[in-house]
Amino acid sequence: MIKEHYGAFIDEELTVAPYKSGILHGKSFAVKDVIHVAGHKNSAGNPDWFKTHEAAEETAPAIQKLLSSGATLKGMTVTDEMMYSLHGENIHYGTPANPVSKKLIPGGSSSGSAVAVASGLRDFAIGTDTGGSVRIPAAYCGLFGFRPSHGLISLEGVIPLAETFDTVGWFTRKAALLEDIGEVLLPDPPKAAPPFKRAVVAADAFQLLTDSQKNALMSAIISCSSKVSTREEQPVTSDDLSNWVDVFRVIQGYEIWQNHGEWVSQHEPAFGPGIRERFRMASTITEEDVAEARRRQLMIQDAVSDLMQEDTLLILPTIAGEAPEIGLAPEEVDQIRQRTMQLTCIAGLNGLPQVTLPVKQGGGLAPLAISIIAPRGRDRDLLTFVTSLCD
């Protein structure tokens, strides 16, 4: 039962004491309701999933690492249904209240995890990020958020969405804690890696913003590039980023149906608006469709590899504008989703690590966010770089 006024938790009473002391001693954290904790049954944001699945026998390895580093697990957080949304609204368990303004959506699908941290109820929280499910709620709620390089953190004990893009990520209010969590969950950085020397400002990504939003992010762009020797502005692609979203959508949808189509067909679960339609779309994607999408993904990866050398950082907006208000019409929700995914699919299609940093706006406006993407595998170096910016 959801007790506290922010609605962040599906189970606020769940508590697991730390296994031993460590770098995260004294820190409390919450976990998204798609990650296994021994003896706890996940709902994945849907009551029918909860009814048709058993409690976990083991705790996910990523969570065990946090418990072994001194952190205390306190609570399981609300998620969008089946992780298949970026909005943060759940018709079954309620929409966690964005602490920035309760009129605004919190972003999803790791909505409860973001709200638990932004409200000050927890020091940090764990979510999952496939198409933006950590980065977007972090941006909407004014937090730091991190999506790691694909494959660096174990997904064992995590309900899958689309394995090509699935990652475990986290939220904090401070950059230093973001880095401390990375020290626990991430492997050591490459010893021979050069320092970051070059920042590329993604010109086409910034075209998704209004002029006033671009101006609001200008000081953040300067700050993010202040510790490198060169800054240049150029597009990520000569193609249109909306075409990259199409590639992402096909691969994601195909894998989602492979993972959950049988369960959906067998149990005919009650889905909220948007979720039902996305599963229906996913069911129509053919093997030929996904083969072509994977071919195009390889071309995208080659192009991004040419753009981003080992010493290069990519700077872009995290979201295509401020957090929208709750209760928008479905067609407006879909438009926002499509625009935002033009930004989030860049790291996803290329398996790259991305940090989102909050950017405050004056005049009572909701926060914006700036992101830094690093070459694959340089996650720890990226987190250290971000901490140095925020000292």
What is the rounded CA–CA span in Å between residue 293 and residue 200?
Answer: 26
Task: Report the chain's C-alpha Rg in angstroms.
Answer: 19
What is the rounded CA–CA span in Å between residue 41 and residue 58?
Answer: 11
pLDDT of the residue at 211: 94
What is the rounded CA–CA span in Å between residue 347 and residue 360?
Answer: 24
Told to judge if 32 belongs to the known catalytic residues of this protein, a careful annotator would answer yes
Task: Single out the catalytic residue among 133, 149, 225, 371.
Answer: 133
Task: Single out the catalytic residue among 32, 69, 119, 149.
Answer: 32
Domain residues of the chain, as ranges?
1-391
Q: Give the CATH number of domain 1-391; options: 3.90.1300.10, 1.10.287.3510, 3.40.640.10, 3.90.1150.10.
A: 3.90.1300.10
pLDDT of the residue at 221: 94
Task: Single out the catalytic residue among 43, 69, 85, 109.
Answer: 109
Helices marked H in the chain: 47-51, 61-67, 111-118, 135-140, 175-185, 203-206, 211-224, 241-267, 275-282, 287-307, 330-350, 379-390
Token pair for 362: 């004056």
pLDDT of the residue at 1: 40
Q: Which ranges of the chain have pLDDT less than 50?
A: 1-3
Told to judge if 265 belongs to the known catalytic residues of this protein, a careful annotator would answer no
pTM over 0.85: yes
Told to judge if 226 belongs to the known catalytic residues of this protein, a careful annotator would answer no
What is the rounded CA–CA span in Å between residue 373 and residue 170?
Answer: 16
